[in-house]
Amino acid sequence: MEKVGIYCRLSDEDRYKKNKNDDSESIANQKSMLLKYALDQDWEIVDIYSDDDYSGAGVERPDFNRLINDCENGRINIVLCKTQSRFSRDMEVIEKYLHNKFVEWGVRFVSIVDNADTNNEANKKSRQINGLVNEWYLEDLSNNVKKSLKNKREDGLFMGSFAPYGYIKDPNDKHKLIIDENVAPIVKEIFEKYKNGLGYYKICDSLNQRNILCPSIYKKSIGSNFVCCGSTYEAIGLWNPDTVAKMLKNEAYIGNLVQGKRTSVSYKNHKFKSVPESEWCRTENAHEPIIDDETWYLVQRRLKNHHRPIKNGKVHILSSKVYCADCGRIFMRNLFNVKGENDTLVKRAYLQCKGHKKYHICDNIKAIRYDVIEEYVLESINSLLEKCNEKLLKDKYSLELERQNRQNNYIVSLNKEKVSLEKKLNESKLYFKNLYTDKINGMISDNDFSMLREEYSRDVESYQKRLEEIANEITKTEEKKENTKDIESILKKYKHIDKLTRIIVDEFIEKIYIGKYDKKTKTREIKIEWNLDL
């Protein structure tokens, strides 16, 4: 007597039928049909294998793997399914098992509705065509789901499972965010402290000492089923420096939704991969902001050149701004004991070339007092402010607008080319599907198919390479736009500066270069590279 294993599968794509007259695909109905068929054939039913809520792509299904194991061990010699697609919609899986491993193990595959039977060599091509059609179905389904999600994101709908800290989902519309007044002040505090020079760890210490609930614990406290990603900090209920860093980069706090940063590798591989920034879905003014634009801008400026705080938890005002004019390496900040009033020792900060101090490869030996360079910078900025008249500002502002218009036009042209290439890719894909079908049906020879496949592969590779180039060019151009300074607003904001702050330094200065000390003149050249492109 033949020993049969009955296999049933149901997934989300099968639960809702477009046609109400379609046969139900429920597990119970599949089992009933298959049991009756096996008994009519006088086959011994060894076991029933059932995977509920599992996709037909891939082999990550518990009972499917149990079935395969029993086939390999000789426990069963017939696999019975309602249709071939219940076994798998993956062409690779169909080829691997139906036409290779099952032949090797002496296992017969039978499906009732589409008459697949590996004992019948004549319907091998139809099985292959069915496998290909099933795979296309999965691919099309995956693409349709992705398009649907993308359309919703483009419409400004929040598609995340959990609202960012500081927001909650609107009770009347789960795709809209509203401010959570209970913790919005904490978000503002984090941005203000970072803007004014405090580091991640010092911010976390401040919040932890006051027993402010970290985001994951807070979300649970208001009834959310949020699960943290395994961070040690989050597990013990403490604020995490990584959490603070992510919050400072999250555009949700200025009212923007930025979604679609990750996607699955493919409809077969459900691991995630990063999406190029040019393809992210960004919706501005999607909800009420917590952080004002100026604070956001200053925080982003500092994030792009994140500095290591000194012992008091703050970043010194000229951190990562001072460089050696000879070797190009940064000037390090060090404290030295020097004689003060009444010959008492006091600590004084100096800046010294890292090329000399650490690597011993630069002869820019002499250190410079930190307060001296700070005073020089303050005087230089005030001098710059005095020289900048209204006409200069207007001229600069006009040039800046022209440059931004050129950048915008360039991005538009790149996006047009991108759309055209994506259309060609889709056309090539359809062409290859038809080509493969023609090969299976014997309409073209294997040699012709191989030649045409190589041509198709070259075209696809060329299109994809250019799409990557376009994505990179768009990203670079967008970065240039972001880094553009509105010269008029900055210079009008400051009339005269009495004291330097980190914010002012970031606004005005890109780099400061310190030359060698001249023993004869007892001077050294100091050159400032301005952010304002004056």
Per residue in 496-505, pLDDT (tens digit) is: 888 888 878 8
Q: What CATH number belongs to 167-303? A: 3.90.1750
Task: State the CB neighbour count (10 A cutoff) for residue 49.
Answer: 22
**Which tokens hold the place of 434?**
């038809």
Note whether 166 and 184 are within 8 A (CB).
yes
| Count of residues making up the chain | 534
Distance in angstroms (rounded) separating the CA atoms of residues 69 and 437: 32
Distance in angstroms (rounded) separating the CA atoms of residues 432 and 437: 9
pTM: 0.50
pLDDT band at 265 (very low <50, low <70, confident <90, very high): low
Tens digit of pLDDT for each residue in 395-435?
A: 665 666 677 778 788 888 888 888 888 888 888 877 877 87
Task: State the CB neighbour count (10 A cutoff) for residue 51.
Answer: 22
Note whether 115 and 123 are within 8 A (CB).
yes
More confident of the two residues 492 and 261: 261
pLDDT band at 67 (very low <50, low <70, confident <90, very high): very high
Q: Which is nearest to 80 in space by CA: 118, 54, 52, 106?
A: 118
Note whether 294 and 188 are within 8 A (CB).
no
Note whether 166 and 180 are within 8 A (CB).
yes
Tens digit of pLDDT for each residue in 114-158?
A: 888 998 876 777 777 777 677 777 677 667 777 777 777 777 888
Distance in angstroms (rounded) separating the CA atoms of residues 287 and 161: 17
By the 10 Å C-beta count (0-12 exposed, 13-18 middle, 19+ buried), 253 is classed as buried
Q: Are strands 173-179 and 167-170 parallel, antiparallel or unpaired?
A: antiparallel
Q: Which is nearest to 175 in space by CA: 146, 152, 145?
A: 152
Distance in angstroms (rounded) separating the CA atoms of residues 155 and 105: 53
Q: Which is nearest to 287 in space by CA: 182, 193, 195, 174?
A: 174
Q: Is the pLDDT of residue 228 over 70?
A: no
Q: Which CATH architecture has domain 3-152?
A: 3-Layer(aba) Sandwich (3.40)
By the 10 Å C-beta count (0-12 exposed, 13-18 middle, 19+ buried), 85 is classed as buried
**Which tokens hold the place of 150?**
């993308």
289 contact partners, CB below 8 Å, separation of at least 6: 253, 254, 255
Distance in angstroms (rounded) separating the CA atoms of residues 116 and 127: 6
Q: In whole angstroms, how far apart are CA 423 and each of 233, 264, 287, 416, 464?
A: 47, 22, 34, 11, 12
Q: Which residues pair with 339 in a beta bridge?
A: 345
134 sits in which H/E element: helix 124-154
**Which tokens hold the place of 493?**
């904001």
Range(s) within the chain of domains with CATH label 3.40.50.1390: 3-152
Mean pLDDT score, 187-201:
89
Note whether 277 and 475 are within 8 A (CB).
yes
Specify the DSSP class assigned to residue 121. G
By the 10 Å C-beta count (0-12 exposed, 13-18 middle, 19+ buried), 47 is classed as middle
What's the pLDDT score for residue 358? 86
Q: Is the pLDDT of residue 491 over 90?
A: no
Range(s) within the chain of domains with CATH label 3.90.1750: 167-303
Tens digit of pLDDT for each residue in 321-364?
A: 999 999 999 999 888 888 877 778 888 899 999 999 888 899 99
More confident of the two residues 230 and 528: 528
